[in-house]
Amino acid sequence: MRRPSAPNTATPGRPVHGRPDPTPPILGLLFAGLVLVGLGACGGGSSSPTAAAQVAFTGADGRRTTIADIDGPVVVNMWATWCQPCVREMPAFDAVAATTSGVTIIGVNIFDEPDEARSFATALGVQYSQFTDPNGELSTALAVTGYPATAFFDDDGTLLELHQGELTEQELRSSLRRLYPDTIQGSAP
């Protein structure tokens, strides 16, 4: 007759049935700390103007501007030529920008050479305003970890939300209605 095995009552870091405990307490604390840091880096929902609103990027005319320089709420679509999801969503941003008022929608190319980014956007046929940030300063200030990324700012430069990943036209319109209910005009599908 087989004897029932004893319940696992080993203390952390001590062997269980002759094997070391696979989760010493320090690893659990380290994992919890990384999760908390990751959650804090996602951005959004701050109650004062953000440092990102002061980061300068360059327009097609060569002039430097910031989010704080633009009147009213601003939606910033950060993209790169090598990012296929970025390229797929750009026509959606173009369509929404063409039919929406009360919110400025801009594209900011990150990490590409400015001339390459401008040529790429022109060849793609997008008409919404495009800027370049070849050093990725804006995405760094926003702690972006993946592209495309879309930052939604209110009229005083406060970051309302940071979305990392591709947005469809309908998802973008829905976000605009949710984040700017008293400002948005013409964001019907």
Q: What is the pLDDT of residues 65-96, one digit of tens each?
A: 999 999 999 999 999 999 999 999 999 999 99
**What confidence category does residue 187 fall into, taking pLDDT thresholds of 50, 70 and 90?**
low
Q: Could you tell me if residue 187 is inside a domain?
A: no
Tokens of 111: 């990490």
pLDDT recorded at residue 183: 84
pLDDT mean over 154-179: 96
| Candidate from 47-51, 90-94, 132-136, 150-154 with smallest mean pLDDT | 47-51
pLDDT the model gives residue 57 = 95
Q: What is the pTM of this model?
A: 0.73
Let me know if residue 82 belongs to a domain: yes
3-state SS class at 21: coil
112 vs 36: which has the higher pLDDT: 112
Of the pLDDT bands very low, low, confident and very high (cuts 50, 70, 90), residue 16 is very low
pLDDT at 31: 41
State the CB neighbour count (10 A cutoff) for residue 64.
10
Average pLDDT for the chain: 80
Give a yes or no: residue 109 inside a domain: yes
Domain assignment present for 23: no
Q: What is the structure's pLDDT at 60?
A: 84
Q: How many domains does the chain have?
A: 1
Is 184 among the domain residues? no
CB 114 within 8 A of CB 58: yes
Domain assignment of residue 163, yes or no: yes
Long-range contacts of 65-68 (CB under 8 A, 24+ apart): 65/131, 67/153, 67/157, 68/157
Does residue 32 fall inside a structural domain? Answer: no
CATH of the domain at 57: 3.40.30.10
Residue 132 covered by a domain? yes
- The rounded distance, in Å, linking the Cα atoms of 77 and 80 is 10
Neighbour count for residue 29 (Cβ, 10 Å):
10
Can you give the residue range of the structural domain that contains 85?
51-179
